[in-house]
Amino acid sequence: MASLHPSSKAVHEEEDLNHVPPQEKELDAGALFVLKSKGSWIHSGYHLTTSIVAPALLSLPYAFASLGWASGIMCLVVGAVVTFYSYNLISLVLEHHAELGHRHLRFRDMAHDILAQIPSFHSLRHINLVSLVLSLAYSACATAGSIYIGSSSKGPEKDYSLSANTETRVFGIFNAIAIIATTFGNGIIPEIQATLAPPVKGKMFKGLCVCYAVLIATFFCVAISGYWAFGNQSEGLILSNFLDQDGNALVPKGFILITNLFTILQLSAVSVVYLQPTNEVLERTFADPQSGEFSTRNVIPRLISRSLSVIIATTIAAMLPFFGDINAMIGAFGFLPLDFVLPVVFYNLTFKPSKRSPIFWLNVSIAAVFSAMGVIAAVAAVRQISLDAKTYRLFANV
């Protein structure tokens, strides 16, 4: 009786199935539907700019009020240099593991190995281009408004003196550092790099260059013009300084309206970007990877779960009235360790540079200094919130 042998085609098909990379076999609905790898380096630039150049930058003059001119500008420069360096290190670590066959799509994938209705992240590229333009627009408005008020007789008397109380001054400095860390913060570098079409080598560096060109133009202009105009009276949100104590506008009302409109529109894009990790978790939990991405089985749970997440986040944001203080807390507990400490630690653990090499000790120094800053900044942020909580109420119109 003749035995049946598989055809050459069948053998190759079986071999292909047996040699599918482990990560591809384990791809869940979150990775399949949200983290699509189709983007170019310019798209990563749009994503990076939207995730970093956000309305939090409008708190920079408030941070300067506790730091003064020299320290404020120095902190901005250090923040820009260290985060650019850290994000590039994270990109190199991701590229290295991708070459080894372990492509990390999420931050938790990296940690595991080394230690709201938009379907996918890649589909946000056009929205994030608009977001980039909007960030330039409201930053230009904030800068122009500050210069206009500072040059007119309507503005407050310029006072750049720091608090005479040593305790208040010290805690204020670390609170300000945490605010600056928040403005530079980006906790979704792996998710952004996951949107790049292979080969990814060098694309994130170009994207970072696009992002930081916009960042330098916006951060420094808003921080310097706002602090110049309002000094130590700078509010947690610089747009609040465009009204006097009686609520009268110091610039044309239409100008305030258009600035707020630009800010809200760009904030919508920022929210969608930062919802992508949440969306990925929701898709992994509720979606069926065997069904079509736009099938009824997946669309209905997606619509309900993402809508609920947006409603909950918006309610919490509206409930908390102190914008600058919340920025400081997020920076201290989240962005300082995530963006200043972990990237250099991951680089040293992945590439294992010689302990005699300058890069090893540079990374160790960055991790040590910013870890210490994070602890002190966390105490300062909680202290400031407890002080301001006495004068604010939930859902306050401030």
247: left (phi over 0), alpha (psi -120 to 50) or beta: left
- Separation CA 30–CA 33 (nearest Å): 6
Per-residue pLDDT of 287-339, as tens digits, reads 888 887 778 888 898 889 988 988 888 888 778 767 677 878 888 888 888 88
Per-residue pLDDT of 353-381, as tens digits, reads 999 999 999 999 999 999 999 999 999 98
Q: Are 43 and 131 in contact (CB under 8 A)?
A: no
Q: How many CB atoms lie within 10 A of CB 5?
A: 8
Measured in degrees and rounded to the nearest 5, phi and psi for residue 44 equal -65, -35
Tokens of 245: 């104590």
- Separation CA 356–CA 373 (nearest Å): 26
DSSP-assigned beta bridge partners for residue 249: 243
Average per-residue pLDDT in the chain?
Answer: 82
DSSP 333: I
CA 308 vs CA 83, 230, 289, 313, 314: distances in Å: 33, 39, 22, 9, 10
* SS3 state at 196: strand
Tokens of 342: 């972990």
Record the pTM.
0.76
Max mean pLDDT range (92-101, 119-128, 180-189)? 180-189
Domains contained in the chain, CATH given: 34-286+298-388 (1.20.1740)
Beta strands in the chain (DSSP E): none
